Amino acid sequence: MTKEAFTDSISPSDEVLDEKDKRQKAPSVSIFRLFRFATLKERLMICIAIICSAGTGALQPVSILIYGSFISTLTSSLSDTSQLVEATLPLIHTMVYMGTASLVAAYISTCLWILTGESQTRRIRSLYLKSVLHQDMSWFDQSKEGSLNTRLASDTQLIQDGISEKAGLLISFFAQFVGGFVVAFVKGWQMALVLLVAVPLLGASGAIMAHFLTKFSKESQDAFAESGTIAEQAFHSIRTVYSFSLQKRFSDRYNQKLEAACRSGVKGGVALGFGFAFFMFFLFGTFGLSLWFGSKLVTEGHLTGPSVFIVFLAMMLGCMSFVKLPPNLSAVSSARAAAYNVFQVIDRVPKINADSNEGLMPRDVQGTIQFERVFFNYPTRPDLKIIQDLNFQVDAGSTVAFVGPSGSGKSTIIQLIQRFYDVSSGGISLDGHDIKDLNVKWLRQQMGIVSQQPTLFNSTIRENILMGIDKKVSDQDIIIACKEANCHTFISQLPQGYNTIVGDNGGMLSGGQRQRIAIARAILKNPSILLLDEATSALDTQSERLVQNALDKASKNRTTIVVAHRLSTIVNADMIVVMDHGSIVEKGTHRKLIEMGGVYADLVEKQAIHTDVAKEDTNQLLMQEESEIQQHIYVNAKTTAANHYQDDNDTKHLSIELHDHIIEDTHMLELIKQKRLESEMKKKQAPVWRVFWHMRPEWSYLALGVIGSTVAGCIFPLYAYAFSHVVSLLSIPGQDVQPSPLGGTNLYAFIFLIIGICAFLGSGCQFMAFEICGQKYSKRLRGEVFAAYLKQEVAFFDENSTGALTTSLAIDAGNVNEMITKVWGDVSNLCITIIVALVIAFTHSWAITLVTLCMSPFLVASTAYEFYLQRGFEDNTKVANAQSSQVAGEAIREVRTVAALNKQQYFQDCYFQATAHPHKLAVRKAYLSSIGAACSKGISIYTNAIAFFAGVHFIKSGMISFQDVFTSMTVIMTASEAAGRSTTFVATFAKAKSAAIACFEILDRHTRIDPELEGIEPTKESIQGDVEFRKISFAYPTRIDAPVFNGMLNLRGKPGQNIALVGPSGCGKSTTIGMLQRWYDPLQGAACLDEQDVKNYSLHNLRSHMAIVTQEPTLFDLPIVDNIRFGIDKNEPITQAQIEDACRSANIHDFITSLPDGYDTFVGANGSQISGGQKQRIAIARALIRQPKVLLLDEATSALDSDSERLVQEALDNVLQEGGRTTITIAHRLSTIQNADMICVIDDGKVVEQGTHYELLALHGRYAALVNEQVLTAL
């Protein structure tokens, strides 16, 4: 019995339960339902696998009949050995046949179980992802996206375990159990009944142990799922984590979850140790009792010695297989429990089903949208009314703009139109049809959307643009759309052009560049309804003017709904609706609302910019620039739509089928990288000694486990020795079976009792110590690897996706844990078993031992062969699975964009394609690695046959006595069985080796920007805030051939100044902040703070003097108060009053206190439960509470409405006036920086203009032109 068999039962379901539910049995599917996704062909293969598995198991007890007949023939011929060979030769031939049958059956069953299990699991994973991506948004609001991705990997792995090899082992052991008992009762029912006493004892110990293992392992798995969510949040928001030095806090949060998982794992280890200890004691105690009773039956003439041998071995085989049932049954049970949750998601029909063909699909769409008495609240916050009695109509082809304070319900209106949610009451109609009666997919196909924080996927620019359509288009169509969106120029300047990978979440591009690509995606779609949610908020002034012009033209003759805070973008709207607290307070045209002098007019006034100089001089420049772009713009998208899909003799056509080309393109890019990584992984050796040295704190547990393994390893050879002597006493005529109370078989029965006590101590110690050791080490390893990830430079996260990192973190340490708990203990046990067995065998018959050892090279070869294959498969599969994890993680994280684009099927196809390579590897593994496993079974029987054949000849020649031959053969059978079991650790060790390499790679990786490197650490009081950039050369590591700065960027800001950076998107404004915070280092030149290169500071100290508010603020799935507390160091004291003061300054306090839970309100994943403006104000409060010497504002007010912007700007101005703080402001909305002490215009990698607002206006240059473009006129 191996430790692996028991520890495999640690397989919890994924249901998150409260304390009451935990005491209840988790729901599960039936065994037959577990295979519901198997095809007809696979079901036929499963039937064949079942027959072969049952045959493999049944051959074991049948072989005991052959062994019994062999002993009977041998002992009956001892008096006359002349015919001994001829009498035993047919039995030896039968052994060879059985070995061959066992080999073939084992190969077929193993191969078929792997093949069918892999195919079904791949199908289940794909269907699970499909169902997740089609769920309604309210379901996601109540689910944790990080947990969904982790579950996709872990729960489906549990299902695969339960429907592949372990299902075959379950059937094989069950057949072995039944066959053993049948043989035992047929050959000697009296003795079998005595042995039957062991079954309830073993069953009870196994059941109790399984109960506690399941309970504790479930708790552990739940904690690991929560830790995975924490890790995904950190990786996805790594810039925010680094800016506020949150590494320690996230590590602490992560380690807290690991500690909870470790505690449960240790409890499981204790349960495992005691359970297995009692099992071994009951087993050998019963063996002693049965041998004593069997000797009485022989003495009384009821049984013969060979019969006792057969009954005993058959019952022992049955009992051992019975105990091997629970871990494999547990694997199937865990699969059933995991399948319940997975299948529930697969079967769940969402309330708003985008995968359904039901619903109206009108042929023509006019675009009239009407809201009638609409009320709405988010399902997660039913007591907070978002929309209240909303009534309005958007006429077909008109443009309606919504303005108002952040959180007033503007973006919610767009989500309701897309049917992300259904209204609480009232109705929304399109062309007179209630949108609930329309087909959801069709409805969303009529819409194009550009959101405030546009989502790009980790693919090429071309593929991201093509996400908007399902048709074939030419290169020229893409280029025209990009020219309209003003992004063709910067794309063309990239080395790979439209084939440039944008990175995880578009991280390789600036905010403005991402937004322009999203606009191009919407323009190319040519929708009937255009939804613009702050579509130009991230653009510089010039790009905004050109893109807005394109959007205005694209909006002609199509219904357009605009949400805007920048009022210059909506002056031409047919109707402007002013909202507050979910209701309409004003509506009308721009001119009419200005004349009313109400709320809207006040908002316009607040956004006015002083432009007393240079207005007329810039008009000509503006007209010239605009005329150059006009030739690329559609005059009317609808009337020219047909031309988009016609052949153009002057244009090379792309002719893209989205579900073929894009998937293939991405797959080929990944395959090149994958092959390189596979080659590197194969060259690396298994760092066993490195793991051993690294786990020094756990050496005490390891030593205890080795001692236990040593004792446990002696058990079975000693058992074989004692058993062989008992059989010899019972089989050889004339022997005194029970000469005294402690003589003959009575002595050996007592020895079995002693062996049971030793087994109790040794096995219990081994299992408990190794399990505790593994749990503690894997907890520490996970924590260290996570901390190591958080030490890497930002460029590392540009090159590695969040999904791949999270999956690796979730799996690798667990696989290393399996090497400790399942491999080391059992390998040391098996080594001792083989050594002791060989010593006993050599002592009794060196000749028999040497003959049988001749077979060992074949067994070693088969094991080595399987290990070699498994190692290669695990290395390659690990690399290949990283891609599929990336696809799934990204799709789930950005599910709103996926749903808006109707790309659920696309990402499902991408995922299925990404799993093609791992699937191909698994198929090869099934055919090839099954050879090693099958050979090990066949070789064990062949070894026994050879030993019997040699023993017969040695007995006939008189070289060796029967007792010595039988003792050597019995002990060698034990050693052979142990050696055969060694192949069961091959796959586990291969996984662990690959995982250990990955763990130590990140632990050893030398980060380019070392957070632990010592440097100067001035106090906050001594920092002046002098900021300077000297002759900066810079290019992003992933685009080294596309420099942002070429050594000509020189800029200096004096202490206390407010320095504003303006310029076109992609000119490097945000890059300067990244260099100042040391997210990246310049290639040449220096970024300086107080005349010191920032490289001279310790990283933590440098960032402690700064605070940042970014264009796309990041909030974590925590209460509001905790998100704000992240603004200060963990050890700094902070009061609730300070938090509230910061929130008042950021104009967010009133909103927070209006929430039912106030400051304890959870903001949801990525702040999904609050509006963009509310998120940004909380981020500003987080920055203000830090009291930085250098304040970095990267479009800090871009998501705010005019009134909130004014209040927040006043708060920021008040902070600036306090003195002693330098502020660097990046802004496209120039009204926010007109009071800056210095405004720098950046273009072509350098500062082209510099001065105050009025000084730059007087230059009549670029800044003056930008200002005039943003002037609001109430025409």
Domain limits, the chain: 3-25+39-351+670-1004, 369-669
Comparing 1231 with 1118, the larger pLDDT belongs to 1118
Mean pLDDT of 319-347: 79
Residue with more model confidence, 927 or 993: 927
> Distance of CA 248 to CAs 253, 788, 1011, 1079, 1113, Å?
9, 11, 12, 17, 21
Spatial CA neighbour of 810 closest among 325, 232, 164: 232
Q: Please name which of 584, 583, 562, 565 lies closest in space to residue 573, comparing C-alpha atoms.
A: 562
DSSP-based three-state secondary structure for 529: strand
Q: What is the pLDDT of residues 740-787, one digit of tens each?
A: 566 667 787 788 888 889 989 988 888 888 888 888 888 888 889 999
Average pLDDT score over residue span 963-982? 73
Q: What percent of the chain has pLDDT over 90?
A: 17
- Least confident window among 883-887, 1006-1010, 1036-1040: 883-887
Please tell me the predicted confidence (pLDDT) of residue 658.
38
φ and ψ at 586, to 5 degrees?
A: -150, 155
Pairing label, strands 399-403, 559-563: parallel
Half-sphere CA count of 777, side-chain side, radius 13 A: 30
CATH entry, 369-669, from 3.40.50.300, 3.20.20.370, 1.10.443.10, 1.10.760.10: 3.40.50.300
CB 312 within 8 A of CB 290: yes
Q: Which of 253-262, 609-618, 788-797 has the lowest mean pLDDT?
A: 609-618
To the nearest 5 percent, what fractions of the chain are helix, strand and coil?
A: 65, 10, 25
Q: For residue 869, what pLDDT is reported? A: 61
Structural tokens at position 38:
């198997």
Mean pLDDT, rounded, for 864-885: 61
User: If pLDDT is split at 50, 70 and 90, which confidence band does 1212 have?
Assistant: low
pLDDT by residue (tens digit) across 1081-1121?
999 999 999 999 999 999 999 999 999 988 778 888 889 99
Measure Cα distances from 80 to 127, 948, 959 in Å.
Answer: 70, 18, 15
Contact yes or no for 468/901 (Cβ under 8 A): yes
What is the pLDDT at residue 1029?
A: 94
Of residues 1267 and 25, more confidently modeled: 1267
DSSP annotation of 562: E
Match 């080595």 to its residue by tokens.
864
Model pLDDT, residue 436:
92
Residue 955 C-beta-side C-alpha neighbours within 13 Å? 29
By mean pLDDT, which of 47-56, 667-676, 914-923, 1248-1257 is the weakest?
667-676
Average confidence (pLDDT) over 644-655: 35
Q: What is the pLDDT of residue 416?
A: 93
| pLDDT of 672 | 45
Asked whether residue 437 carries a pLDDT value surpassing 50, the answer given is yes
Task: Please tell me the least confidently modeled range out of 173-187, 203-217, 238-252, 1096-1110.
Answer: 203-217
pLDDT at 679 over 50: no
Reply yes or no on whether the pLDDT at 1171 is more than 90: no
Q: What percent of the chain has pLDDT over 70?
A: 83
CA angle at 868 for the pair 866 and 870, rounded to the nearest 5° = 65
Least confident among 33-42, 529-538, 896-905: 529-538
User: Is 280 within 8 Å of 6 (Cβ atoms)?
Assistant: no
Rounded Cα–Cα distance for residues 38 and 50 (Å): 15
Residue 1118 Cα to chain centre, angstroms: 20
Confidence of residue 211 (pLDDT cuts 50, 70, 90): confident
- pLDDT for residue 1093: 93
Higher pLDDT, 801 or 179: 179
- 4 pLDDT exceeds 50? no
**Coil, strand or helix: which one is 539?**
coil
pLDDT of residue 323: 63
Reference 571, options 1269, 1228, 1274, 1265; nearest CA is 1274
Give the span between the Cα atoms of 561 and 576, in whole angstroms: 10
pLDDT category, 1268, cuts 50, 70, 90?
confident
State the Cα–Cα distance between residues 103 and 456, nearest whole angstrom. Answer: 53
26: which DSSP letter?
A: P
Q: What is the pLDDT of residue 1274?
A: 31
Give the containing element (helix H, strand E) for 910.
Answer: helix 904-914
103-127 per-position pLDDT tens digit: 999 999 989 998 999 899 889 988 9
The SS3 call for residue 433 is strand
pLDDT band at 453 (very low <50, low <70, confident <90, very high): confident
Q: Is the confidence at residue 638, as pLDDT, over 70?
A: no
Confidence band of 980 (pLDDT split at 50, 70, 90): low
- pLDDT computed for residue 673 by the predictor: 47
What confidence score (pLDDT) does residue 54 get? 93
Query: Which has the higher per-residue pLDDT, 20 or 597?
Result: 597
* Confidence at 644, pLDDT banded by 50, 70, 90: very low
pLDDT (mean) for 579-607: 86
pLDDT digits (tens, 9 = 90+) for 215-249: 777 777 778 778 888 888 898 889 999 999 899 99
pLDDT digits (tens, 9 = 90+) for 663-675: 444 444 444 444 4
Q: What is the pLDDT of residue 879?
A: 58
Specify the DSSP element, H or E, that contains 891: helix 856-893
What does the alpha-carbon distance between residue 673 and residue 498 come to, in Å, rounded to a whole number? 20
pLDDT at 485: 83
pLDDT tops 70 at residue 1164: yes
CATH of the domain spanning 3-25+39-351+670-1004, picked from 3.40.50.1860, 3.30.360.10, 3.40.190.10, 1.20.1560.10: 1.20.1560.10
pLDDT digits (tens, 9 = 90+) for 414-432: 999 999 999 999 999 999 9
Tokens of 550: 């394109």
> Which strands form 369-376's sheet, in the order they lie side by side?
387-394, 369-376, 425-430, 433-434
Given a cut of 90, whether residue 1033 has pLDDT beyond it is: yes
Question: CA-CA distances (angstroms) from residue 382 to 385, 580, 1116, 1189, 1257?
Answer: 7, 19, 22, 42, 51
Sign (positive or negative) of CA dihedral 974, 979, 983, 984: positive
pLDDT for residue 1:
45
- Retrieve residue 1255's tokens: 């000084």
Q: Where are the beta strands (DSSP E) in 773-924?
A: none
**Can you tell me the distance from the alpha carbon of 392 to that of 417, in angstroms, rounded to the nearest whole number?**
13
Strand partners, 353: none
Q: In this predicted model, which residue has the larger pLDDT, 1237 or 205?
A: 1237
Tokens 């001792």 sit on residue: 832
Strands 1045-1053 and 1027-1034: antiparallel
What is the residue-averaged pLDDT of the chain?
79
Stretch 127-135: mean pLDDT, rounded? 90
Q: How confident is the model at residue 498 (pLDDT cuts 50, 70, 90)?
A: very high
Phi, psi of 1154 (to 5 degrees): -80, -15
Distance CA 656, CA 641 (A): 17
Distance separating alpha carbons of residues 11 and 13, to the nearest angstrom:
7
In this predicted structure, which of 239-248, 586-595, 921-930 has the lowest mean pLDDT? 921-930
Give which of 1087, 1091, 1104, 971 is closest to 1030, Cα–Cα. 1087
3-state secondary structure 926-990: HHHHHHHHHHHHHHHHHHHHHHHHHHHHHHHHCCCCHHHHHHHHHHHHHHHHHHHHHHHHHHHHH
Other beta carbons within 10 Å of 647: 8
3 state SS for 826-859: HHHHHHHHHHHHHHHHHHHCHHHHHHHHCCHHHH
